Amino acid sequence: MAAVDPVIVVGAGPVGLALALALARQDVPTVVLDEGTGVCPEGPRSLVLGPDTTALLTRLGYGRAPSDAARWDAFTIWRRRSEVLRLPLDEIPLLHLPQHRLQRGLRDAVTAHTLIQLVPLSRVTELEQDRDGVSVSTLGTKDGTRTWWRGSHLIGCDGARSTVRKLLKVRFPGRPAVDRHAVATVRVQLPFEGEARLHREPPWRGDREASARPLPDGLWRLDWRLPPGRPAPTTPVDPFATWPGIVTGDTLLSRVKATLTGWCGELPPYELLAAADHTYQQRLAARFRVGRCFLAGDAAHLHGALGMQNLLDGLRDADNLAWRLALAWHLHSGGPQPGGALLDGYEAERRGAVGARLRAVDQSMPLLRPLRGWQQTRRSLLTGSFRKHAPLLADGQLGTGRFGGAPAYPAAPSGVPGRVPPQRGTGRGTTLTETLPATAPGVLAPDVPVLTSEGTADHLHARLGAGFLLLLVAPGTTVWSAEHWLGAGLMPHLAETAAALPVPAEVLVTETYPGADPHTVLLIRPDGHLVGTAQGGRSEDLQALVATTGGAGNCANTEEADQLDSA
């Protein structure tokens, strides 16, 4: 087996660390270059985790994510003094996690992993690539030492002002100021414990929109939507008027007091721990891949209006790209090269999914932007009441629907067959998992209970990230002991088929799978998305499904060479 250079990850934020861990889970070494020191200061940023994201973080090594987060009991939307929407979350385990805890948890997992080399205080200054790999020059921010690094591939996870993106000369078009928010972390006891609340046109003076979201340890994240634009510093500021464009300590403190008093009836004891003023942009990189270099996270896209979570999409970038790079890396070390569709599929799928979210925001902002007076009345007459559109606001806050739900990839060149038409209104070439049957190609497979080939009980999402999965639907397996069925029926045939596939694959068994008949075999990618189904587990059908992903080794990667020639 030929020696292969490690993969280089630029940026040690949550996306870069998650990508390095996902690659290490598939036995791919990485070098993580970071300009910072590695210190993760506490701040007001946070992330709402759905079950699939929590499972991803757990299998990456951040197993304490559920205990580091707060679970919500309900999400409500209010307008003035009335509750407009209430969504109980008893059966949906949504977790609210401070971003600094996420980064610390991922960093702890990285430092414990021997396949990951973390290099702090190193600023990338030069980047060169050829048909065999990538060379990167870094400058030590502390001692000025210049170092050259060699890798098989490079991923820029270095934020909105990405140096990698600039060195690759990739355009980053979009809108610089779509939404502005002031955010604060406050220790306080509110009368709606465990409930996340979004309040439009609250009855107290000065705010158009305020929200409160529970954090662990008795903390709350408070958000206020700010008017667009920033007035000149000489503009007179009335701290009790609608939010001024310049957020000072006095204006923030006055809004904290007014908001807490409005919700509690009187000002409760509180402690202000952190605050920030965020301007949310909407940008999408023109390319996510240039030869052997890729962009992910904030370096590839920016959004955040209407409560959308760009970091959540960044983690999906890492999960989508890791299995492709791992497959390409191992195929390179073993001989035949992967086809261009394998790596091109990352840009096609992830850029398409994020682009659909941005289009959804553009379509929905006129319906959801806070208005007052005759403008609100006019919009209600033309497009319907606020109550009608309130569920859209919930989608952004909860990571569901058009603003945050798990995408499906039915038509990307990664090979997922395009038999499912795009959902109306989600944009070109994309759709949502929650709108499709669980057997539709490209959906994120549900987290069904499974048994391994050794008879060990587990859940599907816990088995992801290390290879493809062959999931056999076999009713009755929970009734009979494992020794009765492991060597009977389709199991020996599936074990032989898995061993013969050109990609690493594990055989699992489930009692039932939504929409699938008994003896159906489902091929699931390492990131959890369904490639397709094969009735009876015919070897030819499964081989053909693997080939559609671009994972079957073939001739030299001419598409990659073409990209380098034209870059």
Please name which of 404, 367, 308, 393 lies closest in space to residue 75, comparing C-alpha atoms: 393
Can you list the alpha helix ranges (DSSP code H) found in 335-468? 340-346, 352-368, 373-383, 386-398, 401-404
More confident residue, 201 or 371: 201
Is 237 a domain residue? yes
Dihedral over alpha carbons 407, 54, 344, 115 (to 10 degrees): 180
Cβ proximity of 110 and 20 under 8 Å:
yes
Residue 136: C-alpha distances to residues 114, 139, 145, 164, 297 (Å): 22, 10, 14, 10, 20
- pLDDT greater than 90 at residue 231: no
Residue 186, domain member (yes or no): yes
Q: How far apart are CA 548 and CA 545, in angstroms?
A: 5
Looking at residue 417, its pLDDT comes to: 36
- Give domain status of residue 91, yes or no: no
Q: Which of 26, 27, 31, 35 is nearest to 8 (CA)?
A: 31
CA distances from 74 to 214, 220, 260, 278, 323 (A): 11, 15, 19, 26, 35
- The confidence band for 41, taking pLDDT boundaries of 50, 70 and 90, is confident
User: What is the arithmetic mean of pLDDT over 363-371?
Assistant: 73
Identify the domain boundary among 258, 279, 300: 279
Q: Is residue 524 part of a domain?
A: yes
Look at phi and psi of residue 473 and say left if phi exceeds 0, alpha if psi is from -120 to 50, else beta.
beta
**Residue 214 main-chain phi, psi, to 5 deg:** -65, 140
In a domain, 215, yes or no: yes
- Residue 404 gets which letter from DSSP? H
Q: Name the most confidently modeled range: 212-226, 242-256, 338-352.
A: 212-226
In this prediction, residue 412 has a pLDDT band, given cuts at 50, 70 and 90, of: very low
pLDDT, residue 482, reads 60
- Looking at 279, 312, 339, the residue that finishes a domain is 279
pTM of the prediction?
0.90
Domain that holds residue 228: 175-279
Q: Given a cut of 90, is residue 78 above it in pLDDT?
A: yes
Q: Which helix (H) or strand (E) holds 245?
A: none
Phi/psi of residue 509, each to 5°?
A: -130, 140
What would the mean pLDDT of 493-505 be, rounded to a whole number?
A: 91
In this prediction, residue 566 carries a pLDDT of 43
Tell me whether residue 118 is in a domain. no
Look at residues 251, 279, 307 and tell me which one is the last residue of a structural domain.
279
Q: Tell me how far apart the alpha carbons of residues 498 and 521 are, in angstroms, rounded to a whole number.
A: 12
Q: Is 499 domain-assigned?
A: yes
Confidence of residue 180 (pLDDT cuts 50, 70, 90): confident
CATH code of residue 468: 3.40.30
Does 101 fall in a domain? no
Residue 336's pLDDT is 41
Number of domains in the chain: 2
- pLDDT category, 306, cuts 50, 70, 90? confident
